[in-house]
Structure 1
Amino acid sequence: MLFRMIPPRRLVLAALLTLAGALPAGAAQEPYGGTVWGWRFTQDIERGRVICRAISSAPSTPGFIIQRLGNGNFFLSLLANGVPRGNYEEGHLGSGDFATMVNIRSDGSRIYIPADDHDMAQIGRTGRFEWGAGPVRGRTIRGQVNGMGFNDVVRRLRECTRANGGR
């Protein structure tokens, strides 16, 4: 008698909503461990990929995020309002006596700098890095970041990706 009063489409919708509520969330950032040197850590799955992030709360590096993907690649993400949207194939990343050419991407408010394990080891050695994107109106836009506990942050990101099935 009850089922005659509820249209079948509503029964199916109610069943699907109940099932969806029981499934794990696919794209919600979750914390990963405690803070280290003022860095907060999250873990996430986006488009089937593991992504672990370290988010700086230091006043000297507002908006600085280090991401490690499950495949082992890193991205350094910084606020960079002066860098117009685009790809800067002749960008650079450097630390101390180390420098490499990188393809820096800007969405107009943030830049994304790819890095590998070698780059991260070099940055960890000095605890700082410089970047450059350009040319923009004939010149290179440059920036510098000093980070506390950089090696500890990178170590935690590696632990996070491994704990989530990555490398």
Structure 2
Amino acid sequence: MKFRMTRPRHLLAAALLTLAATLPARAAQEPYGETLWGWRFTQDVVRGTTICRAISSNPSTPGFIIQRLGNGNFFLSLLAPGVPRGNYEEGHLGSGNFTTKVNIRSDGSRIYIPADDHDMTQIGRTGEFEWGAGPVRGRTIRGNARGMGFNDVVRRLRDCTRANGGR
């Protein structure tokens, strides 16, 4: 009878495959529909919550992402490296003659602005919005964004969350 030695790398591969089979599956971002007005759409489930995203490829709004959660809330996310990490409870979101106070959160390179359906409708009327976070060293940091096809983008995000069992 002849015995064959198993190579260490084969043992390692078998152990890793066994371990991988016991770990829970993780959802990954998947595409949702075709690109529209330069926006790419994805859907994802994070900790049991549906998140649909529109990601801008427009050079005038690099890094602009609109997220809609399954509960119907939106988040506008923009690159804002000049806004230090923190929460800005005196922030604002505005479009045309509409302005509302919001709690803007910054991770040091990106800001997250909460919005609801009313806010998104107001922004959709002009297709652009402005934001302000502060005070930062005694002043408010401001920015703005324009989104081509904004109403169509918001409509697609609403369809996405509904298709995934949300509002």
Q: Structure 2 CA distance, aligned partners of 1:107 and 1:40?
A: 23
The DSSP-based 3-state class of the residue aligned with 1:82 is coil
Counterparts of 1:40 and 1:12, CA distance in 2: 39
Residue 66 in 1 paired to residue 66 in 2? yes
Cα deviation, 1:123-147, whole Å, max 9, x if unaligned, reads 0001000000000000000001111
1:1-55 deviation per Cα after TM superposition (whole angstroms, max 9, x unaligned): xxxxx9xxx99975664466xx8x4331000000010000000000110000000
| Runs (4+) off by over 3 Å | 10-20
The reply to whether residue 109 of structure 1 matches residue 89 of structure 2 is no
For the residues of structure 1 that align with 2:136 and 2:16, how far apart are their CA atoms?
Answer: 53
Partner of 2:108: helix, strand, or coil? coil
Partner of 2:136: 136
SS at match of 1:35: coil
Alignment of 1:26-37 (within 5 A): 26-37=26-37
Name structure 2 gaps, 5 residues minimum: 1-5, 7-11
Match for residue 126 of structure 2? 126
| Deviation, structure 1 residue 75 | 0.1
Same amino acid, percent of matched pairs:
81
Cα separation, 1, equivalents of 2:111 and 2:88: 10
Q: CA RMSD in A?
A: 2.0
SS in 1 for 2:83: coil
Segments of structure 1 that go 5 or more residues without pairing to the other structure are 1-5
Partner residue, 1:150 = 150
Displacement of 1:83 after TM fit?
0.2
Deviations 1:50-84 (A, max 9, x none): 00000000000000000000000000000000000
Q: How many residues align?
A: 157
SS for the counterpart of 1:132 is strand
| Structure 1: distance between partners of 2:21 and 2:104 | 44
TM-score (norm 2): 0.88
Q: Residues 14 and 57 from structure 1, CA distance in 2 versus in 1: closer, same or farther, beyond 3 angstroms?
A: closer
**TM-score, length basis structure 1:** 0.88
CA deviation map 1:71-127 (0-9, x unaligned): 000000000000000000000000001000000000000000000000000000010
